[in-house]
Structure formats: C-alpha cells, structure tokens
Chain A
Amino acid sequence: EVQLVESGGGLVQPGGSLKLSCAASGFTFSGSAIHWVRQASGKGLEWVGRIRSKANSYATAYAASVKGRFTISRDDSKNTAYMEMNSLKTEDTAVYYCTKDWNYGMDVWGQGTTVTVSS
C-alpha cells in the first residue's frame, strides 16, 4: 500500500523549533519529490515547500511565508522526509501534510500532524 505517515507535531512556544518527519512506504521514495502543505483550522491549504530527488540534486523550494525559517531534507535510506521548523510563529499553527509529487500535482497524502504554536 502506498502510504505517507507524518509525525513530530506538538505544542511549541513562539520562537521555538520543531522537526516533522514523513515516513514513506509502498513506492520508490528515492525517485519522488515530496511537498509539505499546511492547513490552519477552518482554513484552506497552503503550499509550504518541496524537496526533489537525488537525481535532481535534492533541490528545495519554499513559500515566502516560511523561507529562511523552515528547512526540508530527506534520508532516502530511511524512506523519510523531514521539515525542520525554526523561529515558529503563532500563525504557523496548522495541520501539516506531506505529499508526493506527481506531474506537478500531489497524488499521495499523509494523514497530517498537528503543530500548535502558543505560549
């Protein structure tokens, strides 16, 4: 079964850090680009960033709202992608999804992990 499973969410104070994980199974993870998308409660989807495969030099890209604060990485030996989030703000509170790229769309989604930034 093709699957993505996020973990690592939780409660963090403003200015703090958190690292999310996205474990993949059922497909060739090493050849796939992975996106992170977030959704604040009651709000729409927001694209956060993407990491490409080794063949594409692990290139990363980020939304302006998180650039310089969030870093996406991957460990193909563990079939896992990561997103390290620093200098967190209250407006970063959301459910964070990882999702697999398919022809510039996103075909496989995890169940999401909740990040709450609050004092």
Chain B
Amino acid sequence: QSALTQPASVSGSPGQSITISCTGTSSDVGSYNLVSWYQQHPGKAPKFMIYEVSKWPSGVSNRFSGSKSGNTASLTISGLQAEDEADYYCCSYAGSSTWVFGGGTKLTVL
C-alpha cells in the first residue's frame, strides 16, 4: 500500500486561506468517505482534526474544513493563524482493515 500523496509544503499569510491536497487511488480515498486529517506540532503527538472527510471532532475549530473529489481529499484552513503552523497528515481507510497515511505537508505561516 503506497502512501497518499501530499505536497511537501504550503504557506500562507495570517488571515489567508490555504488548501492541502491528499491524492490516493480508487482503492482508498476514492472508495471510502473515511479520510481523516491530523495536525502535528514539532515534538508532539498528532491531533485529530477531521474525520469522515468533513466532520469535526469535538473542540476542533471550524476554520478547518475537509472535502473530497474522486481520489483526492483536501483540507482547507481559513483565517490562518500563527499557531496553525505545523505538519498536516491525511489518512484514509484502504479496505481489508488497513489504513494509509499521506507523506505529510509542512504549513508555514508567513
């Protein structure tokens, strides 16, 4: 199972919006509405941000939103804030009780 494809890095200025893409295949992202997203600050454990493509876990800001089209899922962060600077990972259920993560995207807030 190959990792999902994410851009290595994205950047934006405070207040702007950015979108991180996550491209898989028809066997994972394209087959299931079971994409989740995680935020990870340096030296910390990942934090659960989005599940089932576009749902928010309790306590997560609605500045973070998810979507999916075909084999590509996306995470959009609106109203960028300095504390959003982190690594972001997508993850998809891949069938047969397996999961696959994306390679990660480093977000820089300029």
- Output the least CB separation between A53 and chain B (Å): 13
Q: A63-B98, A104-B36, A106-B36 are in contact. Are A97 and B45 (CB under 8 A)?
A: yes
- Among A10-18, A23-31, A79-87, A108-116, the one that faces the other chain is A108-116
Using C-beta atoms within 8 Å of the partner chain, give the interface range for chain B: 20 to 34
- Which B residues are in CB contact (< 8 Å) with A110? 45
Residues B98 and A112 in contact, CB atoms below 8 Å apart: no
Q: A104-B99, A110-B45 are in contact. List 7 more A-B contacts (CB 8 A).
A: A61-B96, A63-B98, A64-B1, A104-B93, A105-B51, A106-B46, A108-B48
B interface residues (Cβ-Cβ under 8 A, vs A): 1, 3, 32, 34, 36, 38, 40, 45-48, 50-52, 55, 57, 89, 91, 93, 96-104
